[in-house]
Structure 1
Amino acid sequence: MTDRQIPDVLAPARLGPVTLRNRVIKSATFEHMAPGALVSEDLIDFHRSLAVGGVGLTTVAYCAVAPEGRTEADQLWMRDEAVPGLRRLTDAVHEHGGAVSAQIGHAGPVANGKSNGLPALSASRRVTPMGPRITHAATLADIARIREAHGNATRHAIESGFDAVEIHFGHNYFASSFLSPLLNKRTDSHGGSLRNRARVVRETAAEVRAAAGDRIAVLAKLNMDDGVPGGFWLDEAIQVAQWLEEDGNLDAIELTIGSSLLNPMYLFKGDAPLAEFGAVMPPLMRFGVKLAGKYFLHSYPYEDLFMLEAARQIRASVNMPLVLLGGITGKAAMDTAMAEGFEFVAMARALLREPDLINRITADHAAKSLCIHCNKCMPTIFYGTHCPLATPKVAAN
């Protein structure tokens, strides 16, 4: 790395076939702004504000590839009826100089079967805390159907004017549940060895690339660590990243951690907003959060660049472009990521607090984010994600 020229994070950069105006990506976080699983004006305004605020690429989160793959019924589902609204969204982002990505995926065991009216699918049958309910073990036909649905979602994204798609391979969603030794107890061709457990990930990436060609960029969000004993961890993540590089179907990997199913706060670091979560829950679940929330919603100390140590090991193992996420709130952290060999940085909470943060940093490299990592934005996913501390109220991704 000592001989490479360190890129300027605020200068234009290539991501596959796309040129971004800078190397800053708004990482995907569920907006809850899609009533009827269709684009709303609030969703368009949200992503427009990020484009106006200067990000290179904003990510629409999340776009389910199948109706049972939604985390709840009012979540975007990629189909013909969604295209006109998605086209208005991408046009709004492009009008202000930004690029836009569709995060596509299948929620698997994180899906809300009660809300969707369809069974949640996972690598193996098990009780899930999302209810609680029982997830169904995906059949080989389910696996093939969901893989093909990723290709169809990619074609819808292209028709809608997206510049990129990001395949969700993290957080114990469908593909991630196959990677996890804890969740995947199969004895067939998709269980047991890591090579078998990684088949869904690799074959889905191939399906998406075949649909995308060289028309749009293809990224994937990949877990480095589930944050759960017995789950997918860094040693296996390194090998999966190497396989994905060898396959040649991705333009970049965004590295992440945590399990939306079993340890959601592991991804975020900082305070666990138990009172705020309880306030938006139905009475019975509110009582459960009050009684036992601290055993599920753990608090982890926040520090800048909190994924860097693990991500360095992936960086040392592959040559393909990588996106560093986690505790990036200012120019100094961005410059560190560039110096460490990462091609892009991703931000989420800081941009919920200030959609125009990139413009502020561009004007003043010493600008400090107003985000205090209180995580009170997290419970707002149930009614329209935003930073509760922002004035005026700002919708969040």
Structure 2
Amino acid sequence: MTTPETPDVLAPAVLGPVKLRNRVIKAATYEGLSHKSLVTRDLVDFHVAYARGGVGMTTVAYCAVAREGRTDRHQIHWTDEAMPGLRVLTDAVHAEGAAVCAQIGHGGPVANPKGNGAPALSPTKHFHATTLSWAREASVHDIRRVTEAHAEATRRAVEAGFDAVEVHLGHNYLASSFLSPRINHRTDAYGGSLENRARFAREIMRAVHDAAGGRIAVVAKMNMDDGVPGGFWLDEAIPVVQWLERDGTVDALEMTAGSSLLNPMYLFKGDAPLKEFADVMPQPMKLGVRAVGKHFLRSYPYQDAYLLQDARQVRAAVRLPMILLGGITGRPVMDLAMREGFAFVAMARALLREPDLVNRLRDDASTPSLCIHCNKCMPTNFTGTRCVLVDRGTTRRETWGKPAGYVA
């Protein structure tokens, strides 16, 4: 299954300053389980299940660095009130022997202006069809403020007991939208050439690296392909990751794809659950999804390791440790990633279906994943992310008398 030169995916490994018990990471999937930007018992239980199920590290997604950067009004952002609950979460995961990572970022044009009570930000003015609103152009002051907010989020992540931060540079969130020539039409130092469009992302990573101070690991999650004509693509992604490597600000890279703004299904592959999305949408979006959703939520053929072909090009261009994301379902594809030179694998949908899959793979390497890639888990992030084929009971969000900032 492996050779002496190929790492064992289930053996301990080092990520920056952190030792993980294995090379399997629960990928960031917005849980939809925080409430009023605070940790809930459901959110703790969600991540404890993956820790108990055997992953080396689980990723809490998504923790916005600023209030206006949330894509949902209940998402966690780094306030004093949120800190005690975040410490409850990290302690609970650590008690199961796993590490825990906080995904940090700013939603930019993907953010929800109505829920946030503030306009979304974009490199240049942009109309967001989903929210039927205009995102305003980010000023240089906004850029500096959001950069510092990433640093402050990192300092708070250290304080809350996280082992790593994953900086969101993908999916046309704010930093990713600056990288995209389709969205970024600026004429100042943050627009035009690739070097200029990458400036914001590099400044963010420098701020995060300095704030981490070697105490926790720093991962960059970045697009290889926006999945839209005229967007950011592999030919530009490769020089950007080479700059990040040269800057010395990143412990590992996780390459992703797709645009939450323009083509969200490009990342997931498999079926597009149009009916299920329409069912959870308010009017008039419900009618819109039913009428024209097939033009926005496109289906793409699924295959295991579907991002490997492009990620392999990045792997050949840098020496940084890399995390392979996309279609990681079982031991054969994990071992393939190790043979291809990836240091870690990140799993999402397969673990939503079976949180204990890693433990069962350890017991029997031939264990197949039960995930059928129907993607009906995607719309559940409005009500609590889960596999619809598994009954996990009802949510519990009433106050429970735990420390301030923790909602059960």
Query: Hey, what does 2:404 align to over in structure 1?
Result: none
Query: Hey, what does 1:357 align to over in structure 2?
Result: 357
Question: How far did 1:192 drift?
Answer: 0.2
Distance 1:381 1:370 in 2: 20
**Which amino acid in structure 1 is aligned with residue 268 of structure 2?**
F
Question: How far did 1:167 drift?
Answer: 0.3
Distance 1:163 1:107 in 2: 23
- Where in structure 1 are there 5+ consecutive unaligned residues? none
1:309-342 residue CA offsets vs partner (Å, 9 max, x unmatched): 0000000000010100001100000000000000
Distance 1:4 1:361 in 2: 20
1:387 partner SS = coil
When the two structures are superposed, what TM-score results if normalisation uses the length of structure 1? Answer: 0.98
Query: Hey, what does 2:338 align to over in structure 1?
Result: 338
Distance 2:39 2:88 in 1: 9
Query: Hey, what does 2:312 align to over in structure 1?
Result: 312
Whether contact under 8 Å (2:130, 2:285) holds in the other structure is no
2:82 partner SS = helix
Question: How far did 1:233 drift?
Answer: 0.1
**Which amino acid in structure 1 is aligned with residue 53 of structure 2?**
G
Whether contact under 8 Å (1:182, 1:231) holds in the other structure is yes
Q: Give runs of aligned pairs for residues 121-136 of structure 1, distance below 5 A.
A: 121-136=121-136
1:27-46 residue CA offsets vs partner (Å, 9 max, x unmatched): 10111111110100000000
Distance 2:161 2:130 in 1: 34
Distance 1:103 1:349 in 2: 17
Question: How far did 1:81 drift?
Answer: 1.3
Distance 2:81 2:341 in 1: 41
Question: How far did 1:50 drift?
Answer: 0.6
| Closer/same/farther in 2, CA of residues 353 and 49 from structure 1, 3 Å limit | same
1:211 partner SS = helix
**Which amino acid in structure 2 is aligned with residue 260 of structure 1?**
S
1:208-238 residue CA offsets vs partner (Å, 9 max, x unmatched): 0110011000001010000010000000000
Question: How far did 1:283 drift?
Answer: 2.9
Question: How far did 1:393 drift?
Answer: 5.3
Question: How far did 1:392 drift?
Answer: 3.7
Distance 2:281 2:73 in 1: 16
Q: Give runs of aligned pairs for residues 222-301 of structure 1, distance below 5 A.
A: 222-301=222-301
Query: Hey, what does 1:169 align to over in structure 2?
Result: 169
**1:106 matched to 2:106:** yes
Question: How far did 1:343 drift?
Answer: 0.4
RMSD after superposition: 1.1
1:386 partner SS = coil
Whether contact under 8 Å (1:79, 1:153) holds in the other structure is no
1:109-138 residue CA offsets vs partner (Å, 9 max, x unmatched): 000001110110011101112311100010
1:283-312 residue CA offsets vs partner (Å, 9 max, x unmatched): 321111110000000000100110000000
**Which amino acid in structure 1 is aligned with residue 240 of structure 2?**
V
Distance 2:4 2:151 in 1: 36
Question: How far did 1:89 drift?
Answer: 0.1
Distance 1:229 1:371 in 2: 31
**Which amino acid in structure 2 is aligned with residue 167 of structure 1?**
V
1:301 partner SS = coil
Q: Give runs of aligned pairs for residues 201-220 of structure 1, distance below 5 A.
A: 201-220=201-220
Query: Hey, what does 2:84 align to over in structure 1?
Result: 84
| Closer/same/farther in 2, CA of residues 61 and 215 from structure 1, 3 Å limit | same
Distance 1:272 1:285 in 2: 17
1:333-368 residue CA offsets vs partner (Å, 9 max, x unmatched): 000000000000000000100110100111100000
Whether contact under 8 Å (1:112, 1:130) holds in the other structure is no
Query: Hey, what does 1:117 align to over in structure 2?
Result: 117
Whether contact under 8 Å (2:190, 2:200) holds in the other structure is yes
When the two structures are superposed, what TM-score results if normalisation uses the length of structure 2? Answer: 0.95
**1:29 matched to 2:11:** no
Question: How far did 1:391 drift?
Answer: 3.8
**1:179 matched to 2:154:** no
1:187-224 residue CA offsets vs partner (Å, 9 max, x unmatched): 00000000000001101000001100110000010100
| Closer/same/farther in 2, CA of residues 377 and 393 from structure 1, 3 Å limit | farther
Distance 1:91 1:295 in 2: 44
Distance 1:72 1:87 in 2: 22
Q: Which runs of 4+ in 1 moved over 2 A?
A: 391-395
2:100 partner SS = strand
Whether contact under 8 Å (1:61, 1:102) holds in the other structure is yes
1:68-115 residue CA offsets vs partner (Å, 9 max, x unmatched): 000021000012211100000000000000000000000000000011
Question: What's the % identity of the aligned pairs?
Answer: 64
2:206 partner SS = helix
Distance 1:19 1:207 in 2: 23
Query: Hey, what does 2:17 align to over in structure 1?
Result: 17
Deviating more after overlay: 318-327 vs 278-287:
278-287
Distance 1:379 1:164 in 2: 27
1:256 partner SS = strand
Whether contact under 8 Å (1:264, 1:297) holds in the other structure is yes
Whether contact under 8 Å (1:51, 1:58) holds in the other structure is yes
Query: Hey, what does 1:143 align to over in structure 2?
Result: 143
**Which amino acid in structure 2 is aligned with residue 38 of structure 1?**
L
- Where in structure 2 are there 5+ consecutive unaligned residues? 396-408
Whether contact under 8 Å (1:386, 1:393) holds in the other structure is no
Whether contact under 8 Å (1:387, 1:394) holds in the other structure is no
1:51-84 residue CA offsets vs partner (Å, 9 max, x unmatched): 0000001000000000000002100001221110
Question: How far did 1:4 drift?
Answer: 8.4
Distance 1:306 1:382 in 2: 26
Query: Hey, what does 2:50 align to over in structure 1?
Result: 50
Q: Give runs of aligned pairs for residues 372-391 of structure 1, distance below 5 A.
A: 372-391=372-391
1:241-300 residue CA offsets vs partner (Å, 9 max, x unmatched): 100000011100101000000000000000000000011111321111110000000000
